[in-house]
Amino acid sequence: MQTKYVVVLGSLLSGLGKGIVTSSLAKILSLYGYNVMPLKFDGYLNFDCGTMNPFRHGEVFVLEDGSEVDMDFGTYERFLNKDVTKDFTLTGGKVMSEIIAKERKGDFLGTDVQIIPHVTDYIIERIEKVSEKEKLDVLLIEVGGTVGDIENGYFVEAMRQLSQKHRTVFVDVTYVPELETVGEQKTKPTQLALRSLRQDGIQPNFVVCRSTRRLDDKTRKKIALFSNLAPEAVIDDNDISNIYELPLRLVEQKMDKMLIKELGLEATTFDEKRFTEWKNRVDPNDKKRTATIAIVGKYVNLKDSYASVKEALMHAALACKANLKINWIESETFEESSVGSSLAALKSADGILVPGGFGQRGTEGMINAIEYARVNKIPYLGLCLGMQLMAIEYARNVCGLPGATSGEFDPKADHKIIDLMEEQKRTTLKGGTMRLGSWDASIKPGTSAHAAYGSDAITERHRHRYEMNNAYKRVLEDKGLVVSATTPDGNLVEIIEWKNQFGMATQAHPEFKSRVERPAPMFLAFVRSALARSNPISEETMTYSLLK
C-alpha cells in the first residue's frame, strides 16, 4: 500500500499547538491499527536543536538514537507511545547542508542548483524514502512556523507538490479570537490566513480552530464558507484542561472517520479498549488528591524549557489518579538573603525537583533547595544537573568538603565532585558531541531505584558532558550516599539516593521516555512519595491506584 500524507500547518500564528494536533491525529489513526509516524520540518538553519537556547526555543528533546530535536518530538512520543528516529526530523540547516554536500559530490553537475526543483525534489524524495523504509500507512508532516514565513516557504511548496503525487490531506490550524468587550468570535484573521494559504496553492481539507470556548454555530459556518469546506470539517480545538484530551475531542467531532475517508484508507476496526483506557487515564474528573511539586530551575520563566519534566510529572499524577500542581521557582532566589515568596512555594510543596541545566548561574540556589529537602525529609528528584548538585550538596554538608563543586563551574577547584568525562576532554566541537541518547545502566538490588524500576537492567536517555568523579565515590558512600546504579562496566555513576528517605537522582533524563500510557518509573516513585506525604493513605490503596 502506498503511504498517504497528512500535512499540518499554521497559517496565522505559531504557538497554537500544531504539535498536539499532529500527535492527536497520529494517536487516533494508530488506534485504527494503521502504521503511522510523525515528521517535523523546522525552518531554522541550525542542523539540529542541540545548540539552541532552551530559554528562547523551549526544551531540547533527545531521541533514543541521540538526536537533539525540537520539543514537539516529545509530544509525538508521549501520545503515540512509540520511539521516533532522526529520519523523522528535518531542519532548514539539515536540508541545505545535504543539498550542498550533493552539489560538492557532483550530483548536480552542469546545472544551477535551485530551490525549485532541486531542494523541493530532495525534500519529497526524503519523505518518500522514509515512508517506504518504515512501510507507513500514513505519515503526518508538521510544518514548523507559519505559512508566509521566509524560512519555510520552499517546504510548503514541496508539500503542494507532494499532494500532486500522493494522496495528501492538509490540516490548517488557526486561531479564532474573541473580543471580551463584544463577546463575539472573530473569523477575519482566519479568512485572511486561508486566502494566503490558497495563494500558495493549498486548499485545506480541515480547519482546526484554537479558541477559548467552543465555536458558535455562526462562527463555524462562516469559516466553512470562506474555506470551501463543509461545517463538519471546521474543527473545535478550544482550551482544554489537559492536552491529552484532544484525541477525545477530535473523535467526538468524528474527525477520525472524516480523515480516514479523505485519505482513502482501507477500513479497519477501532481499538475501543485502548481508547477507553486512554479516556479513563486522562479523565480530569476523578482526581481526589493533589501532588504539589516545586521545580527549582533557572529557566522557569519559560515553562517550555522543562516541557518533558512537566509532562512526566503529569503522567505519574494521572497514573495515581491525582491532580498535579507545580510551583515553579527561580533558583537564584535561594541565593539571596530574603527569599520571600519562593520559600513559601518551596515549603508548601510535597516534593522538590531540580531539573537539568548548563552553566553555573542559579546552581547555588538549587544546592540550597536540595539541602532543604534532605534536612526536612521532603521527597527529592534530581535530573542530570539535579543529580550532580545532589552529590555536591552531600559532599559539602555531610562529608565536610567545603567548596565541593563541579568542574563545569570551577575547573580549578580543589574538590571537583563532578568532572568532565574523559572523552569530553578531547572534544572541541559543540554540536551533537555530548554523551547523548540511550545508554544502559545496572541497578543494585535492594535500593529504592531498584524498587522503582523493578529491574536490574535499564536504559535511559542522556545529554551531558560531566559525570560524578569516581575519586570521590568512596568518600560519599562512606558517609551514607547510596550509589544505586552505574553503567554496566561500573565506570559511570547513573543513579544516587539518600538512605531512609526519598531522595533519588539520575545522570539521565528519564522524563524523555515517559508516556501517558507508560509513566517513567522514577517519576512514579517520586510522585507516589510526594502524595504519601501530602495525603497519607494506606499502602494497599496506593498500590492499587498505581500503574504497574
The residues that are catalytic are 384, 509, 511
CA count, 13 A, side-chain hemisphere, 180: 0
Question: For ligand GLN, which stretch binds (CB under 6 A), given 291-299, 334-342, 443-451, 459-467?
Answer: 459-467
Report the alpha-carbon distance of residue 126 to residue 152 in Å, rounded: 16
Distance from C-alpha of 144 to C-alpha of 148, rounded to nearest angstrom = 11
Q: In angstroms, what CA-CA distances link 259 with 26, 195, 248, 269, 333?
A: 11, 23, 15, 15, 50
Closest to ligand GLN by CB, 119 or 492? 492
Of the two residues 228 and 427, which places its CB atom closer to ligand GLN in the complex?
427
The residue among 264, 236, 266 whose CA lies nearest residue 251 is: 236
CA distance 86 to 69: 8
Separation of alpha carbons 119 and 96, rounded Å: 8
The nearest distance, CB 433 to ligand GLN, in angstroms, is 11
Residue among 7 and 385 whose Cβ is closer to ligand GLN: 385
Angle ∠(6,7,13) on CA atoms, nearest 5: 145
- Spatial neighbors of 338 by CB under 8 A, at least 6 apart, are none
Q: Which region among 224-232, 351-359, 393-401, 469-477 touches ligand GLN (by CB under 6 A)?
A: 351-359
Query: How many whole angstroms separate alpha carbon 309 and alpha carbon 509?
Result: 9
> Which one among 79, 306, 466, 512 touches ligand GLN, defined by CB under 6 A?
466
C-alpha cell at 369: 533547595
Total binding residues for ligand GLN by CB under 6 A? Answer: 10
Cell 531554522 appears where? 44
Question: What backbone torsions phi and psi does residue 57 show, to the nearest 5 degrees?
Answer: -105, -5
Q: Report the residue closest to ligand GLN, judged by CB.
A: 356
Q: Which residue, 416 or 465, is less far from ligand GLN as judged by CB?
A: 465
Nearer to ligand GLN, 145 or 356 (CB): 356
The residue among 34 and 61 lying less far from ligand GLN, judged by its C-beta, is 61
Q: Does 297 bind ligand GLN (CB under 6 A)?
A: no
Pairwise CA distance, residues 260 & 254, whole Å: 10
Candidate list 197, 233, 384, 443; residue touching ligand GLN; CB under 6 A? 384
Distance CA 295, CA 442 (A): 28
Q: Which stretch binds ligand GLN (CB under 6 A): 119-127, 373-381, 461-469, 486-494?
A: 461-469
Query: In the complex, what is the shortest distance from the CB of residue 458 to ligand GLN, in angstroms, rounded to a whole number?
Result: 18
Q: In whole angstroms, how close is the CB of 463 to ligand GLN at the nearest point? A: 5
Residue 384 C-beta: closest distance to ligand GLN, Å: 3
Question: Does 356 help bind ligand GLN (rule: CB under 6 A)?
Answer: yes
Among 204, 357, 362, 519, indicate the residue that binds ligand GLN (CB under 6 A).
357
Nearest to residue 93, comparing CAs of 62, 130, 61, 50? 50
Q: Judged by CB under 6 A, which stretch of 84-92, 328-336, 356-364, 473-481 contacts ligand GLN?
A: 356-364
Binding span for ligand GLN by CB under 6 A among 250-258, 314-322, 464-472, 520-528: 464-472
**Cα–Cα distance between 30 and 51 in angstroms, integer?**
33
Half-sphere exposure of 38 (CA within 13 A, CB side): 33
Name which position in 408, 460, 497, 511 contacts ligand GLN (CB under 6 A): 408
Select from 78, 374, 463, 528 the one that contacts ligand GLN (CB under 6 A): 463
The yes or no reply on residue 505 touching ligand GLN (CB under 6 A) is no
The alpha carbon dihedral of 206, 81, 147, 156 has a sign of: negative
Name which position in 415, 464, 513, 528 contacts ligand GLN (CB under 6 A): 464
* Of positions 222, 465, 513, 528, contacts ligand GLN by CB under 6 A: 465
Task: Extract the C-alpha cell encoding 181.
Answer: 468587550
Interface contacts to ligand GLN, rule CB under 6 A: 356-358, 384-385, 408, 463-466
